[in-house]
Amino acid sequence: MDVLKPMHEEWVGVPLKGTTAYGLRAYRNGSNLLMHVDKPQTHIISCILHIDHSEDSEPWPIFIEDFKGNTNEVVLESGDMLFYESSKCLHGRPRNFTGSWYSSIFVHYHPVGWDTQTRNLESNYAIPPDWTEISPPSDGLNTLQMSGTALKEPDCPDVWCNTQNTVKWQGPAPEGVVVTAGFDAKDPSTWKTAGAYKGTATHDNSEL
């Protein structure tokens, strides 16, 4: 966590405090992860470091909805790192994984001085009083269901409609290069090197 922190601090431009790290986490054939956001107390600035996947696995993208309304479809290769704001940006892997195994590490930080005490209260205040009421279906809108703390659209492919209209990203990035908006693998003039660390190929969607 401490080794990776300078990369995250350079990405966001503020001092960070490490809070949580998970992994190695292994997913098996048929796994999926419904769309969700992470804990606003601790999971503010996050990364996924993809370790490896089995040779028989098919690409298993993570979908992230950014602040401009785009659904980003990111396929990570071994050694790629994805930076994202996981408590703000809806994300998940709703498409079922096909393969023997897929393994990554997840690391989370919050800004130094982050108020972790009142975040739960803010969430409570944001819940409308009619939250538990079941609304009738609306014409032209897809069915949206809660599953635990996650969301799904059961009438759509991959239980999330926007997986059919995405901005696609795929590694590996050249060594020492950040894949970000406008990146073209064939045009070095579009490569961003500021914030990249030698030996670490990273995905950085700066709009997430």
* Segment 5-45, tens digit of pLDDT: 999 998 889 999 999 999 899 999 999 999 999 988 899 99
Confidence of residue 129 (pLDDT cuts 50, 70, 90): confident
Instruction: Give φ, ψ of 123 to 5 degrees.
Output: -65, -40
| Domain 5-125+138-204 annotated CATH 2.60.120 | yes
Q: Please give the structure tokens belonging to residue 195.
A: 């914030």
Rounded-to-integer distance, Cα 32 and Cα 116, Å: 29
- As a whole number, mean pLDDT of residues 168-174 equals 74
- In the chain, where are the structural domains located? 5-125+138-204
Structure confidence by residue, pLDDT tens digits, 92-110? 999 999 999 999 999 999 9
67's torsion region: left (phi>0), alpha (psi -120 to 50) or beta?
alpha
User: Cα 177–182–187 angle (5° rounding)?
Assistant: 65
Rounded-to-integer distance, Cα 118 and Cα 97, Å: 37
- As a whole number, mean pLDDT of residues 45-56 equals 96
pLDDT at 196 over 60: no
pTM greater than the 0.95 cutoff: no
